Amino acid sequence: MPDDLCDREGSIPNSNPVFGLELRGFEHIPEAERNMTVPQVAFFWVGNNANLFYVSLGASALALGLPLLWAIVACALGNLTNLYLAVGCVGGVRAGMPVCVVARSAFGVRGNLPNACLSWLVSVAFEVINTVFGAFALLALFELLGWHRPGAVGKLVAVALQLVLGGGIAILGHATMVYLQRIFAVVLPLALLLVAGFTLAKVHWIQPATSLASGPLTALIMAASGVIAAGPISYLFNGPDWVRYLPSQTPAAKIIGSVFWPSFLSCFALCALGAIWATLGDMSDPVAGLKPLIPSWLFLIYTGAVIGGSLANNVPTYYSSGLSIQAMGIDIHRYLATAIDVVISSVLVVYILFVQDFTTALNDFAAFMIVWLAPFGGVWITDGLMRNWSYRHAALFATEDRRGPYWGWRGVNLAGWLGMLLGMVGSVLTMKSPLYTGWVARTLGGADLSWIVGLALSGSCYWLFTRIFAGKRLVTPMLTAVTGEEVP
């Protein structure tokens, strides 16, 4: 964001109009411009979650070897991590800034740059995933409408349509995005509930495990819960961005309730449907996999819901990607940063559409994403709680002020980085994924605890190191000996 807007604390008239161009970017949102309401937050999260990502996560619980009823239990356990997100959203409201800026308090005004870069990369990955799901649905829709075997041309058309729709909304900005999510929050769940009504009668609820994995039942439940927990945890780097237009004095209980319950219930329902549908057919392609199970007219409605769900989730992700690009130090307007991100992710989608085993790539990505995201969230959320979510807004943007409160050592808060790295080590040791199983997870028979350990360990270590570093009892002599410089 250009400096003339980045440093302005005065209100900009009509800065965030519906179907107009939002003028704010990654800077602080003044109180006078905060026009979001608590009911809008609830609708936003229902619409945002109504997509096939959660259906695929639920289907993966069956693939890991769980019987259906225990897979549904794993869906509930994994989605309890929406509480992490709800607490983080309190920080987004209190600070009025995106996570990529707020986290500078915990990692340093310069030290958070790698996290901002990773935030952008993970955003692009999710944009690709959602666009692929939307492309699957559009290709199915093309065939229903008479375009048989659309092939490569059809894939390009499907990507282009989503680029124009999703990218266009994200470029306009926050108010337009929130306005349209209210529509998605009503239409998409109704369509999916209609599909569920036609399929639930076919389900055999009591059945043996799929035998695709072996191990103690508890270990399988924890492994499935870890994969499913990747959904809510994936919002810890951008979810609070979308509620920062709420008035800063909104009670914390209202913020947490309007985020947690809509998110938990919608995500759990979709994950459970994914597990249920996986007992009826091959859900590696959750669009084509459902086609034999429902009548043609309903499949048409379903494909429309999938396309809408892809847009509903992609638009906020595109939006936050633009904020991450700004936080990386690229001095452009938010809407230009968002446009660049849309083009990059669309190019990647064109490539990924030709990868056959998309489900395996999705599960591997979900597992390894937690290794960074949960510890990152643990540190910045703990930092916010320790500060009571109180920040000096201008100081978070003062990347050259060596006397600033968030400067640390050479612009890096060592407590934040050490806490996150130790949390990442804990995640690696306790994770269970198709590509890698940590030592602790192997010892526990394949139980995945990374979704619990990573965040808790990083937050605890950050709290401890902050207390130690504040007194300079350990770090000052060590750094002085290594660098030959006096540590401030």
**Three-class secondary structure of residue 206 per DSSP:** coil
Q: What is the pLDDT of residue 473?
A: 42
Residue 45 corresponds to which amino acid?
Answer: W
Residue 208: count other Cβ atoms within 10 Å of its Cβ: 8
DSSP string, 96-129: -S-HHHHTHHHH-TTTTHHHHHHHHHHHHHHHHH
pLDDT band at 18 (very low <50, low <70, confident <90, very high): very high
Where residue 216 falls among pLDDT bands split at 50, 70, 90? confident
Q: Hey, which residues does 409 pair with through a beta bridge?
A: 412
- The amino acid at residue 239 is G
| pTM for this model (two decimals) | 0.89
Domain 3-360 belongs to what topology?
A: Hydantoin permease (1.10.4160)
pLDDT tens digits for range 388-400: 999 999 999 999 9
pLDDT band at 362 (very low <50, low <70, confident <90, very high): low
pLDDT tops 90 at residue 258:
yes
Q: What gap in Å lies between CA 399 and CA 390, rounded to an integer?
A: 19
Is the predicted pLDDT of residue 215 greater than 80, yes or no? no
Q: What is the pLDDT of residue 1?
A: 39
Give the chain's mean pLDDT: 88
pLDDT-derived band at 361, boundaries 50, 70, 90: low
Helix (H, G, I), strand (E, B) or coil at 367: helix
Mean pLDDT of 368-393: 93
Q: Which amino acid is at 240?
A: P
Per-residue DSSP letter, 202: G
Give the residue, 227 or 93, on which the prediction is more confident: 93
- Residues 420-467: pLDDT tens digits? 999 999 999 999 877 789 999 999 988 999 999 999 999 999 999 998
**Once rounded to an integer, what is the mean pLDDT over residues 393-414?**
92
Q: What are phi and psi of 255, to 5 degrees?
A: -65, -50
Query: Per-residue pLDDT for 147 more than 60?
Result: yes
What percentage of residues in the chain have a pLDDT greater than 70? 90
Euclidean distance between CA atoms 426 and 90, whole angstroms: 26
Please enumerate in sequence order all residues whose Cβ is within 8 A of that of 388, keeping only pairs 6 or more positions apart, or say none.
none
The Cα 346–Cα 311 span in angstroms is: 13
Question: Rounded to an integer, what distance in angstroms lies between the CA atom of residue 224 and that of residue 78?
Answer: 8
User: How far apart are alpha carbons 238 and 359 in whole angstroms?
Assistant: 24
With a cut of 90, say whether residue 86 has pLDDT above it.
yes
Residue range 272-296: mean pLDDT, rounded: 89
pLDDT of residue 5: 41
Percent of the chain with pLDDT over 90: 65
